[in-house]
């Protein structure tokens, strides 16, 4: 190294000197301290043996503890730090104000010394916080890295506003994306896209898409162990908590303004902005002309449908074609397939029930259907159910369809469609159901009339007409007993069935002392005489 180059400062060896001096004092007390040991310690610290002897003397003067004399340095007072904070971290401006104060007893050093003192007292994060606020301070925080565990061990969810303008009904909007991400594989399990800032509707739609694994939903999804969310009220609504609690999913609410708590979904939020939105027309963060004017003000924008299609294509690319360094170069799909952790799935019926919001009290089916929020909802299954009560569940902000359930058992009865917005197929199905109900009733009435009509048997000799449905006396008794709930054993009363005469070998009970035996029933034989005696 060139002799004029700056030498890095030597590390502070104060703590090692304390241990070394303590050891030397012990040797001195046990009369084992020699010149050789002192020289060895001096060589280890790169000092002269006389310096080590001064260390020993210092320790003896401070009750056996080596206490080096600290270097006198300037330390800012609380008032000086308050002035620095008032100037938002501008140390030079604070020093200028303190010079004008001229406070008695206050020693104000030169500006470089004042800078060094403030920098020693305030950390880089604190100085950045004075200049830029809490968001700037957090850039200096140290964050740990969570263990990935296994698939579906934990999910993270968040919203991201697209940095793109799209056209919806002739107006420009910036869509929002809500997605659920598996932390072990970085796979996007489900998402929902809304033209405006999402509410419970977007969260429930994305959650249902993430939990299901059948059809186009697979292979990612199932029931996770826990989901980390921020403090958004749409994530903490009762219906979302009910949907997750029904499957024993732990909902972890992170402290506010802690994006590092859900790093996986935040990384995807940044990736979609850099990899997808930046190449779309209407990108809001594109370079502009002086005055903020866009480079191409007449650039045609995407429709909302085209935007949704491009986002789904990008999600498929991310899951199946994008290798991730943290996954050892695997794609999320490969990491998911190589993880053999068992998955717990929910059926569409269960998700259909627990991801809808429930209306408070049961409603009654009328001739116009179910009346809710000033609108009528009907469907073909309601025919013949007028007067029955149902429980209504609905997707927030989706008023065109509701789901109806039995209030006693919770069984799903069927959907209800807004009468004013019924499609042609729904109207045709409604009319077919009306015809089926009428045909079913007509057939039932015809059968009842047929059973009510009495038919007689043909006769070949003069006799009263005999109905073909005539039954015997025994059959009639059996039918009456079955209708009354009686059994023959309950009707076996004394005297109802005559008993047979006793045989000669039977032993009869003796009558009581006052009982008189009628002459015609007196038992004959020697047994009777011996009983009287």
What percent of the chain has a predicted confidence (pLDDT) above 90?
35
284-326: pLDDT as tens digits: 888 777 877 777 777 889 999 999 999 999 999 999 999 999 9
| Cα distance between residue 256 and residue 482, in whole Å | 73
Bridge partners, 392 (sequence order)? 404
Rounded-to-integer distance, Cα 66 and Cα 15, Å: 9
pLDDT in tens, 191-243: 989 888 888 878 888 888 899 887 777 789 999 999 999 878 888 888 788 87
List phi, psi (to 5°) of 111.
Answer: -60, -45
Residue 380's nearest CA partner among 422, 441, 409, 442 is 422
CA distances from 451 to 49, 274, 448 (A): 126, 78, 5
Residue 49 clears pLDDT 90, i.e. is over it:
yes
Q: How confident is the model at residue 468 (pLDDT cuts 50, 70, 90)?
A: low
Closest CA to 203 of 41, 396, 1: 396
Instruction: Report the interhelical angle of 49-61 vs 14-29 (nearest 10°).
Output: 80
Question: Which parts of 62-187 fold into alpha helices (H)?
Answer: 78-86, 91-101, 111-121, 124-132, 134-137
Q: Assign domain 155-287+299-338 to its CATH superfamily.
A: Ribonuclease H-like superfamily/Ribonuclease H (3.30.420.10)
Structural domain boundaries in the chain: 14-61, 78-140, 155-287+299-338, 356-429
- Furthest CA-CA distance within the chain: 154
What is the three-state SS of 229-260? Answer: ECCCCCCCCHHHHHHHHCCCCEEEECCCCCHH
Contacts of 347 (CB under 8 A, 6+ apart): none
The pLDDT score that the predictor gives to residue 294 is 73
Q: Please say whether the beta carbons of 152 and 223 come within 8 A.
A: yes
């Amino acid at each position: 190294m060139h002799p004029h180059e700056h030498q890095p400062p030597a590390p502070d060896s104060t703590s090692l000197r304390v241990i070394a001096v303590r050891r030397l004092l012990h040797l001195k007390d046990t009369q084992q301290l020699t010149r050789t040991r002192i020289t060895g310690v001096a060589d280890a610290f790169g000092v002269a043996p006389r310096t080590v002897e001064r260390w020993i003397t210092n320790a003896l003067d401070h009750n056996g503890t080596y206490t080096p004399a600290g270097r006198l340095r300037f330390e800012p007072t609380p008032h000086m730090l308050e002035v620095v904070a008032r100037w938002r971290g501008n140390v030079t401006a604070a020093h200028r104000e303190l010079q004008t104060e001229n406070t008695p007893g206050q020693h104000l050093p030169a500006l470089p010394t004042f800078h060094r003192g403030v920098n020693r007292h305030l950390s880089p994060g604190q100085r950045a916080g004075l200049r830029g606020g809490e968001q700037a301070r957090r850039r200096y925080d140290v964050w740990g890295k969570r263990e990935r565990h296994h698939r579906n061990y934990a999910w993270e969810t968040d919203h991201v506003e697209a940095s793109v303008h799209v056209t919806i009904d002739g107006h420009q909007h910036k869509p929002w994306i809500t997605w659920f991400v598996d932390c072990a594989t970085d796979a996007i399990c489900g998402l929902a896209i809304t033209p405006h800032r999402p509410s419970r509707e977007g969260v429930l739609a994305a959650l249902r898409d993430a939990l299901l694994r059948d059809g186009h939903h697979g292979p990612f999804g199932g029931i996770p162990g826990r989901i980390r969310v921020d403090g958004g009220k749409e994530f903490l609504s009762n219906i979302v908590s009910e949907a997750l609690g029904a499957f024993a999913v732990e909902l972890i609410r992170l402290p506010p303004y802690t994006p590092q708590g859900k790093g996986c979904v935040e990384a995807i939020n940044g990736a979609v902005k850099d990899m997808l939105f930046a190449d779309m027309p209407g990108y809001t963060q594109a370079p502009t002309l002086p005055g903020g004017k866009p480079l191409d003000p007449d650039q045609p924008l995407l429709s909302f449908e085209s935007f949704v299609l491009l986002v789904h294509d990008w999600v498929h690319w991310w899951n199946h074609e994008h290798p991730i360094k943290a996954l050892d170069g695997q794609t999320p799909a490969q990491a998911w397939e190589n993880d053999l952790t068992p998955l717990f799935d929910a059926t569409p019926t269960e998700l259909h029930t627990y991801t809808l919001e429930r209306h408070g009290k049961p409603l009654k089916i009328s001739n116009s259907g179910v009346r809710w929020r000033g609108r009528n909802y009907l469907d073909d299954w309601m025919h013949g159910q007028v007067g029955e009560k149902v429980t209504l569940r609905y997707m927030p902000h989706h008023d065109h369809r509701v789901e109806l359930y039995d209030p006693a058992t919770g069984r799903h009865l069927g959907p209800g469609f807004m009468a004013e917005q019924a499609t042609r197929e729904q109207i045709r199905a409604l009319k077919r159901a009306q015809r089926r109900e009428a045909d079913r009733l007509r057939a039932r009435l015809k059968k009842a009339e047929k059973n009510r009509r009495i038919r007689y048997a043909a006769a070949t000799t003069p006799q009263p007409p005999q109905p073909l449905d005539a039954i015997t006396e025994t059959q009639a008794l059996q039918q009456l007993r079955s209708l009354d709930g009686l059994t023959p054993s309950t009707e076996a009363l004394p005297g109802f069935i005559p008993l047979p005469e006793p045989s000669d070998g039977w032993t009869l009970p003796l009558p009581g002392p006052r009982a008189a035996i009628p002459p015609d029933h007196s038992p004959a034989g020697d047994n009777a005489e011996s009983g009287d005696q």
